[in-house]
Structure 1
Amino acid sequence: MPYHFDRESERQATVVQLADATREQRDQLMAEYRARSEAAFAPSTMRNYRMIIRLFTQWCTENSHDPTPPVPPRVIAEYVDHLGGKIKSTTIECRLWAISELHRSHFQPNPCRHRLVELALMAVKRTYGAAIGQAPPLGKGEVLEVIKRLGESRREMRDKALLWIASDSWCRASEIVAFRVRDIERQPDGASLLFVHRSKTDPYGQGAYAYLSRPGTEAVFTWITLAGLRRDDPILTKSQPNGKIAPLNPRSLSQILKKATNRPDVSAHSTRIGGVHDALRLGCDLSSIMVAGRWRSPEMPARYGRKIRASQSAAAKVAETFLSNTGGSGEA
């Protein structure tokens, strides 16, 4: 009979074995788990994990709770109650993931799966809502207007390349700053493909391709020549002539976009959302949008485009048809 791996059963079996182990053996196993976690997770994930555990430990200390695993489920539920209304429910779920990982690292049962915690989270969502914040869209038309206004200075030439890459490729900030000169593949029509080595949905680096238009390609190579970038250099660097050639920080992209567009509300994700809006207005189907943005499921592009889809819905078409038949007065 084939063996079926059950993660929770294996963890429970490990807990039983550790009960008879020496303190030294337990410490060695937990140390190995931490070392393997550092290799398995992205550095940003580990930074976020440590920050969450630090905040959770601080809350436990202030409320006379022991933060050392195993933490009782009622304490986790109380923590969820405390966070309700202060941060988004999705952020609370992220914190519960970290607390779960903390218990996994100690080979202890996961209290976040307890029904008390589930009910606490459901109550927070019902009371405060579960809506996910979304960056405002920055569509192609507005980006082209911004590019027209930019001059010929070194910084502006870099910013033009950035705007073309962001609006053409629909890439995330972390993907944009990771592009190197060698990742551009020119096509016969003058456009290019950008090779995305790794992404949020591709942590193991299978790779994918993003689009860069012909004028976008020209702008990028103009910047590469001006900056004297070599094959292995990052495309988007600091604009100072003698500055160190190093990738921009992903957070810098949002600041550059805010300044270039004179819109304090936009972020590096706005061109990704704006691309979805433009595509839906042009009648592109969801599958082609998924290919363009390298999404593996339709959930996120559908969420990004829900305002556009509502304005294109059957209700909108019915209203438009009947109003046009009555001259817009609503009277037959």
Structure 2
Amino acid sequence: MPMTNLPVNHTDSPLLITADKYDERVAENLHMFFVDREAASENTWAQMKSVLRSWGLWCKQFNKVWLPAKPEDVREYLLYLRETLGRKKNTIAMHKSMINKIHREAGLALPASHILVTRGMKKISRQAVLNGERVEQAIPLHLDDLFQLAEITQASGKMQQLRDLAFLGVAYNTLLRMSEVARLRIGDIQFQRDGSATLDVGYTKTIKDEIGVVKVLAPDVAGWLRNWLDASGLTDESTFIFGKVDRYGNAHPAANPMAGKNIEKIFAKAWEAVKGAPLESSRYRTWTGHSPRVGAAQDMALRGTELTQIMHEGTWKRPEQVMSYIRYIDANKSVMLDIVNSQRMKR
């Protein structure tokens, strides 16, 4: 059946591969999904496109129908990701979720919710545990690391390092995600008489409403931010706080948020300044975008902060992610450890 004539971003149109048994309702649902792409974050959209390409290529290779998909085909695909490509459990779970999402948006039954697929995922999860697979986490950026970087920055006085310190300080203090820090504008800042500052964040990945989120910067972090703004000469309230610094040390007003690849360079350069050479690791070799959130969560846990408060600070909705960050710290707070140690002291 022909698809409706709604406008679609030309970069997404190759994803709309026509299946044999489409009807006009499904076609229009899919068109509207792509037209309303702003309803999801860019990260979600990138994941969706990546999964659809992978799923579509697999279906083409093995002569399967990608939409509507059969549960047994989805199960086979997920096992293929694990057994042939060696993908991690979390990656496979994301593929399962996105295959369901495209069916939901099309108004079709959800193949990945079938018991066949559910059992397949349990099999994958059990194999991962038995094989000793652990979820890798970003290298934590701790408060001590930030103050060490501040000393290095103060000694150099370079424009780029002033920007980088301010960015990392804001990220750590607020526990905002990388893209959320990049989205802040000069007009979002209010410096206070006591040396602190407030940030009107607007929205985060997990909080999207008209009220928004307000974060308070400690005087040290607010000072780093003020130093960057004073040195850069940026004053227009509509300008993004963190923009380009050219090789001559000149700051340029940014009309768009800083790109992810450029933000990752901030973390890599900070690591080099404080720690030296990158680690020998399969994935995380330096600090990365999640490092401030991991480090801040651990620092709070070390100070005895309750889990609910840590979740509030980082706008986490579920405790599992936070627990994965602080699990080693919590292990050292074991009651049994205290009991055994107290008995040892009596001897």
Pair 1:249-2:259 in alignment: yes
Are the structure 2 counterparts of residues 71 and 291 from structure 1 closer, same or farther at C-alpha, using a change threshold of 3 Å?
Answer: closer
Partners in 1 of 2:106 and 2:312 — Cα distance?
Answer: 40
- CA deviations 1:61-85 (Å, max 9, x no partner) are 1112222x22211111100110115
Number of aligned residue pairs: give it. Answer: 304
Are the structure 2 counterparts of residues 199 and 137 from structure 1 closer, same or farther at C-alpha, using a change threshold of 3 Å?
Answer: same
Per the normalisation by structure 1, the TM-score is: 0.84
Runs of 4+ in 1 over 6 A off after TM superposition: none
Partners in 2 of 1:322 and 1:253 — Cα distance?
Answer: 50
Q: How does 1:148-297 map to 2 (within 5 A)?
A: 148-150=151-153, 151-204=156-209, 206-229=211-234, 230-240=236-246, 241=250, 243=252, 245=254, 246-262=256-272, 263=278, 264-297=285-318
Q: Decide whether the 8 Å contact of 1:83 with 1:92 is kept in 2.
A: yes
Pair 1:44-2:43 in alignment: yes
Partners in 2 of 1:24 and 1:134 — Cα distance?
Answer: 44
Partners in 2 of 1:250 and 1:289 — Cα distance?
Answer: 25
Q: How does 1:13-24 map to 2 (within 5 A)?
A: 23-24=23-24
Q: Decide whether the 8 Å contact of 1:174 with 1:199 is kept in 2.
A: no
**Amino acid of the structure 1 residue aligned with 2:137:** Q
The farther-off stretch of 41-50 and 118-127 is 41-50
Identity rate, percent: 24
Q: How far apart are 1:186 and its partner, in Å? A: 2.5
Q: Decide whether the 8 Å contact of 1:136 with 1:265 is kept in 2.
A: yes
Are the structure 2 counterparts of residues 136 and 27 from structure 1 closer, same or farther at C-alpha, using a change threshold of 3 Å?
Answer: closer
**Amino acid of the structure 2 residue aligned with 1:137:** P
SS of residue matched to 1:305: helix
1:12 is matched with which residue? none
Q: Decide whether the 8 Å contact of 2:271 with 2:286 is kept in 1.
A: no
Pair 1:133-2:136 in alignment: yes
SS of residue matched to 2:76: helix
Task: Tell me which of 293, 298, 303 is aligned to 2:324.
Answer: 303
- CA deviations 1:161-206 (Å, max 9, x no partner) are 1122122222110111111111112234211122221211124464
1:123 is matched with which residue? 123
Q: Decide whether the 8 Å contact of 1:89 with 1:124 is kept in 2.
A: yes
Pair 1:98-2:119 in alignment: no
Are the structure 2 counterparts of residues 28 and 146 from structure 1 closer, same or farther at C-alpha, using a change threshold of 3 Å?
Answer: closer
Partners in 2 of 1:66 and 1:166 — Cα distance?
Answer: 44
Pair 1:320-2:341 in alignment: yes
- CA deviations 1:56-111 (Å, max 9, x no partner) are 010111112222x2221111110011011522222212111221122223322111
Determine which structure has more spread, i.e. the larger CA radius of gyration: 1
Q: How does 1:20-99 map to 2 (within 5 A)?
A: 23-24=23-24, 27-36=27-36, 38-67=37-66, 69-84=67-82, 86-99=86-99
Partners in 2 of 1:132 and 1:66 — Cα distance?
Answer: 32
1:6 is matched with which residue? none
Are the structure 2 counterparts of residues 29 and 135 from structure 1 closer, same or farther at C-alpha, using a change threshold of 3 Å?
Answer: closer
**Amino acid of the structure 2 residue aligned with 1:146:** L
2:114 is matched with which residue? 114
1:147 is matched with which residue? 150
**Amino acid of the structure 2 residue aligned with 1:223:** W
**Amino acid of the structure 1 residue aligned with 2:314:** G
Partners in 2 of 1:254 and 1:56 — Cα distance?
Answer: 29
Partners in 2 of 1:287 and 1:26 — Cα distance?
Answer: 42
Are the structure 2 counterparts of residues 294 and 73 from structure 1 closer, same or farther at C-alpha, using a change threshold of 3 Å?
Answer: closer
Per the normalisation by structure 2, the TM-score is: 0.80
